[in-house]
Structure 1
Amino acid sequence: MPSAVMARVLNDALTAQLSDGRTVSAPLAWYPRLEHAASKERANWRLIGKGRGIHWPDLDEDISVEGLLAGRHSGESQASFKRWLEARAKRR
């Protein structure tokens, strides 16, 4: 399994560059926390597990390379996402 070497979040997509030279992209609509994040939060990421995943500490979001390659959407329930949005609104 290739690892991620770089990640970038644009207005409508998450793009990861992989160690085998491939680039994989997924729509942000698949990852609601990233979709609702500010640019600064989206830019604050780090590789985890020797590049097996990407972590956004400001969003408490983790996305695996395996999941990206398989085309998996976020597994977060709507109820959990709603609670996250509400907690986020209170902090602002």
Structure 2
Amino acid sequence: MGELTEAEIDAALRRGAQVQIIEPRADSARYDRANDRVIVELTNGCAFVFPARLAQGLEDAAPEQLEAVEILGAGAGLHWEALDVDLSVPGLLAGVFGTKSYLARCAGASRSPAKAAAARAKGGRPRKERNDKTAGKSHR
């Protein structure tokens, strides 16, 4: 790849400045131990609060670990060094608290009386079909 021209550098700087204005950025972040929530103050004066246990990588963290939150990339992300966790501020504001597979596991793991009643009304969970190779074998 060749050298960048002054025009390309100027255009990139203009795009970066525009993103700083448009995208939400963290000005500060802290963990509220009493309410088990992460509070993010944004550069536009708004604030965003979410339960720490909702985010992938934070669900089993100790309060001391959660208190060590840092801001990354001009406010674009939150970072917990001891937990090796990075979360995107725009992603959090969009309701993305983890990867697709993590969120799918969370959704499937929810239990409620309404969900149980709906499953029973449909006949419950179908039994797994066993293939001929495993039929008759005992498993521990």
Q: Tell me whether the two structures share a fold, i.e. TM-score over 0.5.
A: yes
Three-state SS of the structure 2 residue aligned to 1:35 is coil
Three-state SS of the structure 2 residue aligned to 1:72 is coil
Within-5 A mapping of 1:1-92: 1-10=23-32, 11-75=35-99, 77=101
Q: 1:73 to 1:60 in 2, by over 3 A?
A: same
Amino acid at match of 1:69: L
Q: 1:3 to 1:43 in 2, by over 3 A?
A: same
* Mean Cα deviation higher: 27-36 or 38-47: 27-36
Q: Contact 1:33–1:61 (CA<8 Å) still a contact in 2?
A: yes
The RMSD of aligned alpha carbons is 1.8
Cα shift at 1:76: 7.1
Structure 2 residue runs without a partner (length 5+): 1-22, 103-140
Q: Deviations over 1:25-73 (max 9, x none)?
A: 1222321422311121111121111110010000011111101110112
Q: Could you tell me the percent identity over the aligned residues?
A: 37
Q: Which structure's residues are more often strand, by fraction?
A: 1
Three-state SS of the structure 2 residue aligned to 1:2 is coil
Q: How many Å separate the matches in 1 of 2:59 and 2:38?
A: 9
Three-state SS of the structure 2 residue aligned to 1:67 is helix
Q: How many Å separate the matches in 1 of 2:63 and 2:91?
A: 23
Normalised by the size of structure 2, how large is the TM-score?
0.50
Q: 1:38 to 1:29 in 2, by over 3 A?
A: closer
Normalised by the size of structure 1, how large is the TM-score?
0.72
Structure 1 residue runs without a partner (length 5+): 79-92
> What does residue 131 of structure 2 align with?
none
How many positions carry a matched residue from both structures?
78
Higher radius of gyration, 1 or 2: 2
